[in-house]
Structure 1
Amino acid sequence: MNLGVTGKLGGYYLAEQYRKNAAADKNGGVSFAELAAAKAAGQPKVPGMSFKDMWQARFPGAYYHVMDGSAISQGAWDRNDFPFERFFSDHVDESILNWTPSGAEPPAGNSEVQSRWSSMAGKKAVIVPPALDEKMKNNPELAKRVMADVENFIATYPATPGCSYLIEVDENGGISKYRVTSPGQITVSSSEFVDARRAREAKHAEYERLAEEAALKRKLMEQETDERYYQTSITKKAVSIAAYEAAGILK
């Protein structure tokens, strides 16, 4: 199917198509990535949709923030008084990255806490580090993968209707922290989730270390091959000269 859509109308059409397919049977539906690919295929001069475009087309009204969310400690992130509602707006002051509590943590049943949680019902926001945002601009496939992971998290998370989602991704595109909130309760990224993220980071670091070692070994082998070739060439040349001298050619 050739969508052949452009501009704002095209973005609206893609979003509508995706919502219709998402409501249909999953086996017969078309994924957002496929719709984006179809759009790009129909217009080869138009670059693929950015992660921000996909995120806000899939979840209209969702917020997108480029900042280093890893600066927010897990302890601050988990608190009932952490001002996560600031992320559900178009602009967020980066001072939130250094937020510290001013007193004892209020209980979940606190009326002010409940009021804040209720005001965020149904909203979604994602925090993307600058390095990843830049990488995804130059790598549409990476953007699609990150979008698929985030969308799958929201689709499979056992939340009640009307929940708000605040998701932070790391520089590799993995979900590093989250807050899922519904009126009356909140679920934050658990210690198991954090441990799993750290395990992924350690595995990634180990992979990079092994890749560097493999690259170094290849370089050393290439150098050894070059040296052997050079030595062989010198030896052959010396033998040839000796043979010529023995035959009286070079006398």
Structure 2
Amino acid sequence: MIEAFAFEFFRSAIIAGLLASVICGIIGSYVYVRHMISVAGGISHAAFGGIGLGYLLGADPLAGALWFTLGVAALIWGLVERAKEHIDTLIGAFWAGGMAFGILCLSLTPGYTPDLFSYLFGNILLVAPGHLVMMTLLGAFVLLLFLIFYPVLQALAFDAEYAGISNLPVRGLHLMILALIAVSVVVLIQVVGIILVIALLTLPAAIARPFSKTLRGMMIGATLISMFLTTCGIFLSWIFDIPSGSTIILLGVTVYLLVLGGSNISRSCMKDIQNSDF
């Protein structure tokens, strides 16, 4: 395995995985605590519409995905307060509509139809140096933002109503988080793809949750877990010559199920002890 580091693309993949872990660990923890998984899923799948639009207009597909997902995030933000009872239906509409719009745009694109496998499932082994710079800047921005606004974001994450009563800028912060999710999705498309990005955002946070007492601890734990998953996934994909994005996610699912099973066994044992005569 050590000989793999002789290749620049492999070193770039490891760095990309570590940077993605910082982004996913921080934003994913907030998404998990706020129960925004369906919202993040809607935004991530809507990115496909931006990719298709980019190809149709002859522009950079990732640039098209960025502006399209930012627009979707803004629409979700504007509709959340006005249609709370229908929010799941609206998210589903963005989820399916974005994918359908992307397919329509690609069908109307003249000439050669691009291979969309890398956009749907990612290929971290093909991350370009420019993309690493983008991920570094985003990771630093996310880290700085959460360090500055952590007390406010913590209040918003656990009790949004109290945060609103306390005159905190709830709507503005919510828009900021949605925009960060949109940007993160576009940046992470290269790593695991549109289909799997929601899992990378939520699985590490879900694994870290039982071992965390605070949001900060959960973010740190999720970041470290994500680093473990991405690094091991890249090595496994190298050894067995299998897709890296799918390997990372399947490894995450396996670890999550093990943690979930261990937690259930632990709770069952505690109940048995409490109900015993000793």
**TM-score, length of structure 2 as denominator length:** 0.28
Give the structure with the larger strand fraction. 1
More contact order relative to length (CA 8 Å, sep ≥ 6): 2
Larger radius of gyration: 1
Give the structure with the larger helix fraction. 2
**TM-score, length of structure 1 as denominator length:** 0.30
